[in-house]
Structure 1
C-alpha cells in the first residue's frame, strides 16, 4: 500500500485514537489533592511527535525528571497521535502541561482553552525562538522550482493542525496564486494533498517519489534526518521558505492556578536547558529536549504568537474560527 492510500485509511482513526487517549485516559490535575508544594499529586504532560517516533517519551525524560524534582508531583506523559488530541485534552481540563507547535497553541486558545505559555524552545544557547517551513521537491525534479509549480501535483503536508506542515504552507500557496484559501477543501481543489503525519515522513515521501513536492520544517531536513542517515545532503531541494515562525512552546493549563504557574515559569526559564540539566545530573551527553532536539527554553509570551494569528486570518483556516 502506498503512502497516500495508507494515510487515507488511517488518518481519521488515528485522530480519534489520539483524541480519546488524551481526553478520556488522562486524569488531569485534581485541585482537591495537592502536595506540600501546592502542585497536583499527578501532572499530565502531553505532546505529539514531530517525527515518526515509537518512543517520544525518551526525548522528554529530562523535562519529566526536572518537573518531578521541582514540583514533587508524578508526571504522567501522554503521547498523542495528532494535534487535535492535545488541544482537546487541554480544553477538557485533562491535560495540565503540553508542548505545542505555534498553530496548535493558537488554535487551543481560539477554541476555549485557558492556558499560559511557560517558555519557547531554542535550538542553541543564545538563539532566538523560531524556525521556518520549507517547500521541498527532489533535487533532480526540474519541473518544480517554486510554490506555483505545486498546482495539480501530489503534495505532502504534515497534519492539518501543523504550523510549518500546513498553516504557513497554505499561506504561501495563496500568495503564489495556487490556492484560493487555506481551507482543506480549497487546498484539495488545487492539488492532491497527502497528510504524512510527521515532518520526517513528509520529507521521506518526497525523496521516494510518493509525493511530487511537500513541506517540512527546516531543522528536520537540514540536520536531523541527515544526521540519522535518512536523507543524503542535497537529496532534496528547497524551493520555498516561509517567514520566521514563533517557536514551539510549553504551556500550562490555567486550572493549575496562578501561583503554580508562576513557579513553573521560573523552572522552565531558568532550569530547563542543557547547561542546567547537565549540572543537576538530570541528563548526559548532548542533552537535548523534545524531539525537536532543543537546547532549552527561553521566556515566551502570548503576544509572540500574534504572527500566527495573522496567518490564520490570511488563510481563512477553519481551525482558526473557534
Structure 2
C-alpha cells in the first residue's frame, strides 16, 4: 500500500502547489536541460505554522542573487506533496526529510541531494529522534510505550516515525499492534501532545524538544523527559532536480554548500547585528555539502524494518 497511499495523500496537498508552479517546468529550448526564469523552492514546516517563508527568506534572497532567477517559495502540507510536485517537474529545489528524500528517489523522482541541515557550526549534518514522556510519567523506556497512545509526526518523517518505529521494534513493541498511534502532523504538535496529555508518549527531533519549544515559551524546561534517543540520523537534505541546466545547478549548490549558514549571512551583511539570523525554520546554523550516498544509513533502516513508509512503487 505504501506508494499508492502517500501518493493519494499528496494529491490534495499538492493541488494548489502544482497549479501555482507551471512556469518553472518550461524548457528554455536548449537541449534536454531546463534553464527557467523562475525556480520553485518547496518545503514543509517543521512546526504547525501558517507560514515558514520568512524563515527561509535569507536563503531565497541568496538564491535570487546568485542565480539571477526569481525564486518562488511554496509551502506544502506534507512530504508526500513535495515528492509528487518534484516528480511532476513543478518543483526545482526541495527541502526533504531524510526518509522522504529516500522515498522520492525510490519512487522515481529525478533529483539529487546537494546539502543537508547542520544544527551547530562544526557538527556533522545530523540529528536525533527523541522519545518523550511528561515528566513524572511511570514510563521509563520504549518498552513502556506498549499499550499506550503514542504521538508520531508524519508517516514519511524520519525522526518522527521511521526511526521511532525501529526503536520500538528493538524494544519488543510492535508499532502496528501494540500501541495506538496518533499522527500529530508536526514535531511541535507531537511534543506538545505529550505535554498536554493528549498522548502518553511521543516522538520529535532533538532540538524541537531541547530548544525550540522552550525558546517560544510553549514548553518549560523539565516539562518533558527524554526516555529514548535514536542513533545519529543523516541531516535533512535539499535536493535539486536533475534536469536543470548544469551551470544553474552548480550555482544553487554553491548557495547551500557555502553561503546558507549564519556565519556567511552575518559577515556578508545579509543579517544585521543583533537581529535573529535564520536559514530555515528549525533554528539550524546552516547547511553542509552531502551526496546521495550520505543517506544510505536511512536506506539500511528501511531494509531492516521493512517499514511500509519505505515501500517503492
- Asked if 1:226 is matched to 2:214, the reply is yes
Q: Does 1:265 align with 2:265?
A: no
Q: Is the 8 A contact 2:164 2:203 kept in 1?
A: yes
Which consecutive residues of structure 2, in runs of 5 or more, have no partner in the other structure?
1-5
Give the TM-score of the pair, scaled to structure 2: 0.91
> Which residue of 134, 138, 145 corresponds with 1:150?
145
Q: How does 1:273-288 map to 2 (within 5 A)?
A: 273-284=261-272, 285-288=275-278
User: Post-superposition shift, 1:12?
Assistant: 11
Match of 1:298 in 2: 288
- Secondary structure of residue in 2 paired with 1:98: strand
Give the superposition deviation at 1:41: 0.6
Aligned mates of 1:29, 1:277 — CA distance in 2: 30
Q: How many residues align?
A: 301
Unaligned runs of 5+ in 1: 1-10, 180-186
Per-residue deviation, 1:15: 5.2
Task: For 2:42 and 2:301, locate their aligned partners in 1 and report how far apart those are by CA, in whole Å.
Answer: 25
Preserved CA contact (<8 Å) 1:29 1:256: no
Cα deviation 1:195-250 (Å, max 9, x = unaligned): 10000001111000000001000000000111111111111111111000000111
Q: Is the 8 A contact 2:151 2:183 kept in 1?
A: yes
For residue 148 of structure 1, give the secondary structure of its aligned residue in structure 2: helix
Following TM superposition, by how much is the alpha carbon of 1:120 offset from its aligned partner in structure 2, in angstroms? 1.0
Aligned pair 1:107/2:103, yes or no?
A: yes
- What is the DSSP-based 3-state SS (H/G/I as helix, E as strand, rest coil) of the residue aligned with 1:189? coil
- Answering whether residue 234 of structure 2 is matched by residue 239 of structure 1, we say no
What is residue 254 of structure 1 aligned with on the other side? 242
CA distance in 2, matches of 1:117, 1:237: 34
Is residue 2:62 matched to residue 1:66? yes
Pick which of 209-218 and 256-265 moved more: 256-265
The CA distance in 1 between the partners of 2:258 and 2:29, in whole Å, is 27
What secondary structure is seen at the aligned counterpart in 1 of 2:235?
A: coil
Alignment partners' CA distance in 1, 2:19 and 2:177 = 35
8 Å contact kept, 2:152–2:182: yes
Q: Secondary structure at the match of 2:114?
A: strand
Aligned equivalent of 2:88, options 84, 87, 92: 92
Q: Is the 8 A contact 2:119 2:127 kept in 1?
A: no
- Give me the whole-angstrom Cα distance separating, in 1, the residues matched to 2:278 and 2:128: 20
Structure 1 residue 21: deviation in Å? 2.7
- Taking the aligned partners of 2:234 and 2:306, their CA distance within structure 1 comes to 19
Quick one: distance in 2 between partners of 1:14 and 1:52? 18
C-alpha offsets along residues 58-112 of structure 1, whole Å, 9 cap, x if unaligned? 0010011000001111111100000100011111111100111111111100010
Q: CA deviation at 1:278?
A: 2.4
- Residue 80 of structure 1 corresponds to which residue in structure 2? 76
SS at match of 2:177: helix
* Separation (CA, whole Å) in 1 of partners of 2:204 and 2:18: 28
1:123 equivalent among 119, 122, 131? 119
Q: Of residues 171, 175, 193 in structure 1, which corresponds to 2:170?
A: 175
SS at match of 2:182: strand
- The SS at the match of 1:255 is coil
CA root-mean-square deviation = 1.9
Q: How has the CA–CA distance of structure 1 residues 55 and 113 changed in structure 2, closer, same or farther, with 3 Å as cutoff?
A: same
1:319 is the counterpart of 2:309: yes
2:157 maps to which of 135, 143, 162: 162
Quote the Cα distance in structure 2 between the aligned partners of 1:192 and 1:22. Answer: 32
Task: For 2:267 and 2:35, locate their aligned partners in 1 and report how far apart those are by CA, in whole Å.
Answer: 25
Q: Residues 66 and 255 of structure 2 are in contact (CA less than 8 Å); yes or no, is this contact kept in structure 1?
A: yes
